[in-house]
């Protein structure tokens, strides 16, 4: 059984707000007397505790993998007296945020083909990237656009033709540390916050991407990372005695595959720049990223649509920033501004180190990218 706190009631009620004018959503569920997982706690745990945690997590992922559906979307209560849920349009955190700014959002499904599912998520990514940001530099707009155009070519390559029309697998889609409740021995006492769970293509079904390193805020070496390696070791051991674990091992292969960073970006569009330039660009390109983007723009110098899009994003940002300043809505975080100014230089230094280590590690292992 997947440990989920029992839900006793849910709905909306105006009495939950001070004004009493607008309804507020609520949910009443069992309390789980345990603590939320943190990555640091897992890293500091004993090897036995981590093994125990990974074994239980894998059992949960196996159970989800067994739940197959004919379409991709979100499960909703069936109308009438039927107890079985139906697959409705896909609800995601990114689409939910984007809908606040769009009057006519794109059809969210349900989807019967992997291609349509992925195209919808790429549309959400693309439109999210077009929302105005404060003080967007032209160089950053160029970086974003290069990443978006490159991803458009990469996404079809991760889709398996044998599963182009299903099955679609039930997935939580937000199994971050803060949604996992553990006991003192690192056993899993509960998985919470299922509101954005959905049925997804097999190609989109992954381990929790903080385990593979793609959802973490800092780049990690997937060859040496303890969490990633111990998770795959636990899965490999269980695969020797479990057909279902062996299937997961075959489908997930290595944490260094292209599919995982692409899925991470599609799930959380705000991670586009970090994940693309940390995990994807080095698989296909060598040399300095700035030079790479400059050469790309030079090759497409006659593409007026590309130049207009860059100009549109920068101009939108300028107008947005000016509006915030004029209406006293701009929040000035001096520490954040300092980090933002220092980021390009620090990023170059760290990427140079990572590229050096990455090439050294690949040569040692006989890998080529």
Distances (CA, A) of 305 to 125, 127, 300: 19, 16, 10
Phi then psi for 188, rounded to 5 degrees? -85, 115
Query: Which structural domain range is residue 127 located in?
Result: 34-329
Distance CA 209, CA 202 (A): 15
Task: Look at residue 11 and tell me if it is in a domain.
Answer: no
What's the whole-model pTM score? 0.86
pLDDT in tens, 6-22: 999 988 988 888 888 88
Residues 214-225 as b/e (b if ≥16 CB within 10 A, e otherwise) read: bbbeebbebbeb
Asked whether the predicted pLDDT for residue 4 surpasses 90, the reply is yes
Task: Look at residue 254 and tell me if it is in a domain.
Answer: yes
Number of DSSP helices (H) and strands (E) in the chain, helices first: 13, 10
Confidence of residue 363 (pLDDT cuts 50, 70, 90): very low
Asked whether the predicted pLDDT for residue 68 surpasses 80, the reply is yes
Distance CA 129, CA 312 (A): 12
Copy the structure tokens of residue 170: 């039930």
Asked whether the predicted pLDDT for residue 122 surpasses 80, the reply is yes
Task: Look at residue 323 and tell me if it is in a domain.
Answer: yes
User: What pLDDT shows up at residue 227?
Assistant: 94
Beta bridge partners of residue 69, listed in sequence order = 168
Beta bridge partners of residue 72, listed in sequence order = 111
Asked whether the predicted pLDDT for residue 366 surpasses 60, the reply is no
Copy the structure tokens of residue 36: 């939320």
Tell me if 86 sits within 8 A of 107, measured CB to CB.
no
HSE, side-chain direction, 13 A CA sphere, residue 48? 2
Task: Look at residue 294 and tell me if it is in a domain.
Answer: yes
Task: Look at residue 172 and tell me if it is in a domain.
Answer: yes
Confidence of residue 217 (pLDDT cuts 50, 70, 90): confident
pLDDT in tens, 259-317: 999 999 999 999 999 999 999 998 998 888 999 999 988 888 777 889 999 999 999 99
Confidence of residue 331 (pLDDT cuts 50, 70, 90): confident
Q: Which of 156, 148, 189 is nearest to 60 (CA)?
A: 189
Region 69-93 average pLDDT: 90
Residue with tokens 């793609």: 214
User: What pLDDT shows up at residue 342?
Assistant: 59
Q: Which of 224, 247, 210 is nearest to 64 (CA)?
A: 247
Distance CA 188, CA 114 (A): 32
Task: Look at residue 179 and tell me if it is in a domain.
Answer: yes
Region 174-178 average pLDDT: 96
Number of domains in the chain: 1
Cis peptide bond N-terminal to 143, omega within 30: no
Distance CA 192, CA 173 (A): 11
Q: Measured at the alpha carbon of residue 219, what is the angle toward residues 198 and 138, in degrees to the nearest 5?
A: 90
What count of residues does the chain have?
369
Sign of CA dihedral 310, 115, 245, 364: negative
Task: Look at residue 248 and tell me if it is in a domain.
Answer: yes
Distance CA 181, CA 195 (A): 17
Task: Look at residue 10 and tell me if it is in a domain.
Answer: no
Distance CA 62, CA 301 (A): 49
Distances (CA, A) of 234 to 31, 60, 132, 229: 30, 13, 44, 9
Asked whether the predicted pLDDT for residue 171 surpasses 50, the reply is yes
| β-pairing verdict for 188-191 and 180-182 | antiparallel
End-to-end Cα, the chain, rounded Å? 41
Distances (CA, A) of 345 to 1, 279, 350, 351: 49, 19, 9, 10
Tell me if 128 sits within 8 A of 98, measured CB to CB.
yes
User: What pLDDT shows up at residue 222?
Assistant: 64
Beta bridge partners of residue 200, listed in sequence order = 169
Asked whether the predicted pLDDT for residue 146 surpasses 60, the reply is yes
CATH of residue 233's domain is 3.90.1200
């Amino acid at each position: 059984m997947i440990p989920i706190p029992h839900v006793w009631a849910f709905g909306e009620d105006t009495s939950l707000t001070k004004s009493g004018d607008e309804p507020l959503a609520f949910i009443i569920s069992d309390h789980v007397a345990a603590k939320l997982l943190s990555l640091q706690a897992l890293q500091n745990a004993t090897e036995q505790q981590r093994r125990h945690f990974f074994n239980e997590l894998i059992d949960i992922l196996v159970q989800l993998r067994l739940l197959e559906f004919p379409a991709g979307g979100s499960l909703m209560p069936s109308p009438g007296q039927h107890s079985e849920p139906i697959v409705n349009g896909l609800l995601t955190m990114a689409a939910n945020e984007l809908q606040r700014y769009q009057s006519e959002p794109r059809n969210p499904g349900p989807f019967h083909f992997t291609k349509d599912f992925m195209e919808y998520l790429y549309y959400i990514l693309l439109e999210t990237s077009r929302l105005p940001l404060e003080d967007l530099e032209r160089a950053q707009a160029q970086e974003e656009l290069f990443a978006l155009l490159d991803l458009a070519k990469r996404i079809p390559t991760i889709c398996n033709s044998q599963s182009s029309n299903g099955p679609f697998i039930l997935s939580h889609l937000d199994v971050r540390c803060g949604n996992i409740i553990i006991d003192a021995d690192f056993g899993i006492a509960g998985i919470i916050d299922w509101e954005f769970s959905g049925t997804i293509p097999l190609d989109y079904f992954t381990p929790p991407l903080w385990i593979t390193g793609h959802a973490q805020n800092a780049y990690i070496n997937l060859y040496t990372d303890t969490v990633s390696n111990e998770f795959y070791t636990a899965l490999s051991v269980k695969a020797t005695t479990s057909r279902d674990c062996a299937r997961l091992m075959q489908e997930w292969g290595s944490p260094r595959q292209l599919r995982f960073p692409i899925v991470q970006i599609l799930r959380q569009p705000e991670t586009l720049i970090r994940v693309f330039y940390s995990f994807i660009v080095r698989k296909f390109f060598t040399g300095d990223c700035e030079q790479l983007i400059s050469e790309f723009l030079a090759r497409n110098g006659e593409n007026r649509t590309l130049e207009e899009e860059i100009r549109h994003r920068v101009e939108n940002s300028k107008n947005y920033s000016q509006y915030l300043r004029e209406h006293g809505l701009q929040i000035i975080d001096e520490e954040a501004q300092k980090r933002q100014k220092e980021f390009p230089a620090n990023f170059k230094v760290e990427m140079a180190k990572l590229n050096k280590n990455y090439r050294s590690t690949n040569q040692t292992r006989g890998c080529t990218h």
